[in-house]
């Protein structure tokens, strides 16, 4: 992507108007770390939204609201009761990239290796998009297709609402990569709700070794009503092949991707169960 001009609007509505006027000749700019992955060399005008007050993390009822231009390093460092987003952010790329890359930039255009969509799907997050007014989209709806399509008309992602983990809910995530800064070979995230040792609900999502981040409904169905033990987790992990087509990724074969995913699902589920057992409030 070739940037030929920069605009710094003073308000969200002005940014929206700029983007609508520019059409395909304009694009939102925040961290800018994804620009070198965009091979189109068409000149565009960047609409910089980093000065619009969209960088924050704050409690919001039963959610934590994260502003769209919040750097991943801020999410990594944030600590609060019933919060778990730092777990995946500390494993994304390098410190230098996390200091610049934003949560909005990671989920407005989803690349195959993206980790945050996987976690947000598992956690049942909500995305807030500004047009003439704010609209909320569930993670299932927002990630049903490439999110970039939602922003062609000048719409702007303003925040992400991540549910606070309730009592007896547990979160676990696994990212497998060859080196710390390498793209993910497979990313798995899981949220379990337990009643004693019985799984009441489950949300499991996968990414990287599949064409687009997705939940794994067959894995989820194999867990609900069962005891939260390794044997159940291992059996449920084998159902993932019914949900998504595993593919070659980072030099690995589809068969190896499937094996790696199943092992990672087991690991994420065990982490989520341990997390849930340790939380009574």
Q: Looking at domain 169-277, which of 3.10.129.10, 3.40.50.720, 3.40.50.300, 3.30.390.50 is its CATH number?
A: 3.30.390.50
Question: What pTM does this model have?
Answer: 0.93
* The pLDDT of residue 226: 98
Cβ atoms of residues 45 and 8 within 8 Å: no
CA distance 76 to 71: 9
CA distance 189 to 120: 9
Name the DSSP class of 240: G
Q: What is the pLDDT along the chain (281 residues), one digit of tens a residue?
A: 677 888 999 999 999 999 999 998 888 888 876 666 666 677 889 999 999 999 999 999 999 999 999 999 999 999 998 999 998 888 888 888 888 889 999 999 998 888 999 999 999 999 999 998 899 999 999 999 999 999 989 999 999 999 999 999 999 999 999 887 788 999 999 999 999 999 999 999 999 999 999 999 999 999 999 999 999 999 999 999 999 999 987 788 999 999 999 999 999 999 999 999 876 55
Q: Looking at domain 2-48, which of 1.20.1440.230, 3.30.43.10, 3.20.20.80, 2.130.10.10 is its CATH number?
A: 3.30.43.10
Name the DSSP class of 166: P
- Which pair of tokens denotes residue 247? 């593919």
CA distance 274 to 194: 11
Torsion of CA 65, 68, 73, 75, to 10 degrees: 10
Measure CA 61 to chain center.
21
Classified as helix, coil or strand, 44 is strand
Cβ atoms of residues 65 and 57 within 8 Å: yes
* The pLDDT of residue 92: 85
């Amino acid at each position: 992507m070739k940037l030929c001009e920069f605009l710094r609007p003073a308000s969200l509505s002005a940014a929206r108007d700029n983007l609508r006027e520019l059409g395909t000749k304009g694009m939102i700019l925040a961290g800018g770390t994804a620009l070198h992955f965009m091979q189109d060399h068409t000149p565009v005008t960047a609409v910089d939204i980093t000065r619009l007050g969209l960088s924050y993390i704050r409690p919001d009822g039963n959610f934590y609201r994260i502003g769209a231009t919040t750097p991943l390093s801020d999410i990594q460092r944030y600590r609060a009761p019933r919060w778990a987003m730092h777990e995946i952010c500390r494993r994304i790329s390098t410190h230098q990239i996390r200091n610049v890359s934003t949560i909005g930039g990671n989920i407005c255009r989803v690349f195959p290796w993206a980790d945050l969509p996987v976690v947000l799907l598992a956690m049942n997050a909500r995305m807030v998009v500004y047009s003439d007014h704010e609209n909320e989209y569930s993670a299932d709806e927002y990630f049903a297709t490439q999110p970039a399509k939602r922003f062609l008309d000048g719409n702007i992602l303003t925040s992400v609402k991540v549910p606070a983990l309730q009592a007896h809910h547990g979160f676990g995530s696994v990212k497998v990569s060859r080196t710390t800064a390498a793209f993910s070979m497979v990313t798995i995230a899981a949220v379990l709700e337990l009643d004693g040792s019985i799984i009441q609900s489950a949300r499991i999502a996968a990414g990287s070794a599949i064409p687009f981040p997705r939940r794994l409904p067959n894995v989820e169905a194999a867990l609900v009503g069962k005891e939260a033990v390794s044997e159940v987790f291992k059996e449920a992990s084998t159902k993932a092949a019914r949900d998504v087509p595993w593919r070659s990724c980072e030099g690995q074969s589809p068969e190896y991707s499937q094996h790696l995913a199943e092992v990672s699902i087991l690991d994420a589920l065990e982490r989520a169960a341990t997390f849930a057992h340790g939380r009574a409030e």
